[in-house]
């Protein structure tokens, strides 16, 4: 292994042939393990902070040396760089305590965890295809002796064509470096030569043919400012395209473009339209308003077709209040399901992106011959803080979904998977659910009677009128219970109205 000398210089052993890829390392690593999210800046950019680290494997065949090239495959557009600190394991680690974990790290070097977002949709989580390509893990050029370093005082920086794009220090980690080693050792043996990629800070973006990416790891506060030197990788255009007869083809959408570039603006996309948001006070008022009263007030304003018909609550005593996110399912067709049904399809994207206080509304055309969600997706929506799910189709794993606890309205249970009747097609578009048009941002309220849809522009006046009507109806019910006839009381004539107003004025 190349070690940093006292004067800051490092010497890498010469590599020949295929071994040149591992020139900076003591040997070809048996395992390369990468962390999904570890820097607070990156997690905040993604809009989620994990409670615990999660990992994926990269093949050792993806390792490359400094000064090399990496191909962006033909027919792709979203090759992204990620400058990272890489740990080289020195002694075997199995179930090591946190206090001893750093002792098992022999060296620290720079890494570029390159990834191809074009393949991410059909590879989400495992990253085998999107991050496992040849040359997708450059390492080096020098490995610093971990014993001489403070793991809490390291820095990683990334340049593209000489412009600084990323800078992060280990004091910005959600999970300290030693924790990653100790945690991994709970599950598997880290062996000498294994490499752990410890995540990237904010600033990762897309590079193309001709771009030069440089990554450096250093300890700026340590004596002599030890540094790995700059890990240099040049992007070149690939000439080989993927064969769709063998596996999934590259595919991108605006979600992948925004994530690859770092933002919609950086990707040259229009900003997402501002969605209507319920204030806590308005949400509470909606919780107190029965759907029957809300429906009556909507009818007074000329809106009769604002109920989701044919759906029943899985939890009749639960209240549903939230703003709509939508998923559209189209009738099953084998060729369309082959192109749209696999990987991180529209159904999975919808459940992966539904936000806190939102209701996922699924257009299933009233088709009950398959499930439109199951327990795993219900759990995903619940973990993300969704207010509920409304589908005019079926639900698989009915009892398990019920146990999740999230309010669900559906047309009943069915054991078959989505692909028996549907193709997941699109998200965040106007949908028809239970005979009602639902637009993203509409307000949905549900109780035992059913689900009503309220246009955002009317929600304030409708809920206030509904609550006022509830107060009036409760008073009328008291009069009827006291023995009064309904004639003239329900609805109230002038005399009864005067008595009601007098009662209300005294409260």
Task: Name 85's bridge partners.
Answer: 110
In SS3 terms, 28-78 reads as CCCCEEEECCCEHHHHHHHCCCCCCCCEEEECHHHEEECCEEEEECCCCCC
- The secondary structure of 279-328 as a DSSP string is -HHHHHHHHHS-HHHHHHHHHHTT----EETT-EESSTT--EEEEEEEEE
Name the token pair of 247.
């596996």
- Element housing 101 (H / E): helix 98-101
Q: Are 383 and 413 spatial neighbours (Cβ–Cβ below 8 Å)?
A: no
Backbone φ and ψ of 402, nearest 5°: -60, -35
In angstroms, the CA 32 to CA 12 distance is 20
Name the token pair of 450.
């059913």
In angstroms, the CA 55 to CA 250 distance is 23
Residue 396 annotated in ligand binding? yes
Q: Are 114 and 82 spatial neighbours (Cβ–Cβ below 8 Å)?
A: yes
- The secondary structure of 186-217 as a DSSP string is HHS-B-TT-EEE----TT--EE-TT-EEEEEE
Residue 376 annotated in ligand binding? yes
In angstroms, the CA 88 to CA 29 distance is 9
Residue 145 annotated in ligand binding? no
Residues whose CB is less than 8 angstroms from the CB of residue 220 and which lie 6 or more positions away in sequence, other chains included: 153, 155
In angstroms, the CA 168 to CA 201 distance is 6
Residue 374 annotated in ligand binding? yes
Residue 377 annotated in ligand binding? yes
Q: Are 433 and 361 spatial neighbours (Cβ–Cβ below 8 Å)?
A: yes
In angstroms, the CA 230 to CA 209 distance is 20
Site of tokens 């692909």: 419
Closest CA to 314 of 403, 229, 192, 236: 403
Strand, helix or coil for residue 394: strand
Question: Around Cβ 264, how many Cβ atoms within 10 Å?
Answer: 16
* Residue 277 CA from chain centroid, whole number: 20
* Binding region: 374-377, 396-397
* Binding region for substrate: 374-377, 396
* Binding region for Mg(2+): 397
């Amino acid at each position: 292994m190349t070690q940093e000398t006292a004067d800051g210089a490092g010497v890498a052993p010469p590599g020949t042939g295929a071994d040149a890829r591992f020139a900076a390392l003591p040997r070809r690593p048996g395992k390369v393990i990468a962390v999904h999210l570890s820097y607070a800046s990156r997690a905040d950019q993604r809009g989620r902070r994990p409670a615990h680290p999660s990992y994926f494997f990269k093949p050792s065949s993806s390792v490359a040396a400094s000064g090399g090239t990496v191909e962006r495959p033909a027919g792709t557009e979203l090759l992204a760089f990620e400058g990272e600190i890489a740990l080289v394991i020195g002694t075997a680690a199995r179930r090591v305590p946190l206090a001893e974990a750093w002792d098992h790290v022999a060296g620290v070097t720079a890494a570029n965890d390159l990834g191809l977002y074009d393949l991410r949709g059909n590879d989400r989580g495992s990253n085998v295809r999107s991050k496992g390509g040849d040359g997708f893990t450059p390492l080096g050029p020098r490995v610093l002796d971990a014993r001489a370093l403070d793991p809490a005082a390291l820095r990683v920086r990334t340049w593209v064509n000489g412009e600084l794009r990323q800078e992060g220090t280990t004091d910005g980690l959600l999970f300290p470096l030693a924790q990653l080693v100790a945690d991994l050792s709970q599950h598997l043996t880290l062996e000498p030569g294994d490499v752990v990629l410890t995540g990237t800070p904010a600033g990762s973006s897309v590079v193309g043919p001709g771009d030069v990416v440089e990554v450096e790891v250093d300890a700026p506060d340590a004596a002599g400012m030890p540094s790995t030197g700059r890990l240099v990788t040049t992007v070149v255009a690939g000439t080989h395209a993927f064969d769709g007869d063998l596996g999934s083809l590259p595919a991108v959408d605006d979600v992948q473009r925004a994530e690859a570039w770092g933002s919609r603006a950086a990707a040259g996309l229009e900003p997402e339209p501002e969605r209507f948001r319920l204030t806590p006070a308005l949400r509470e008022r909606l919780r107190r308003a029965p759907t029957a009263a809300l429906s009556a007030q909507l009818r007074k304003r000329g809106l009769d077709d604002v109920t989701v018909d044919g759906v029943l609550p899985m939890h009749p005593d639960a209240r549903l209040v939230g703003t709509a996110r939508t998923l559209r399912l189209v009738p099953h067709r084998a060729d369309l399901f082959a192109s749209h049904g696999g990987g991180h399809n529209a159904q999975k994207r919808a459940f992966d992106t539904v936000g806190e206080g939102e209701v996922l509304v699924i257009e299933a055309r009233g088709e009950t011959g398959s499930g439109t969600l199951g327990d795993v997706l219900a759990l995903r929506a619940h973990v993300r803080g969704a207010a509920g799910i409304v589908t005019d189709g079926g639900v698989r794993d009915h009892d398990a979904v019920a146990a999740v606890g999230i309010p669900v309205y559906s047309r009943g249970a069915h054991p078959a998977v989505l692909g028996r009747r549907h193709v997941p097609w699109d998200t965040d578009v106007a949908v028809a659910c239970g005979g009602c048009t639902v637009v993203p941002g509409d307000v949905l309220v549900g109780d035992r009677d059913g689900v009503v849809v309220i246009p955002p522009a009317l929600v304030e006046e409708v809920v206030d009128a509904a609550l006022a009507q509830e107060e009036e109806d409760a008073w009328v019910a008291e009069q009827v219970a006291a023995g009064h006839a309904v004639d003239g009381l329900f609805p109230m004539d002038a005399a009864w109205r005067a008595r009601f107003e007098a009662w209300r004025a005294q409260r």
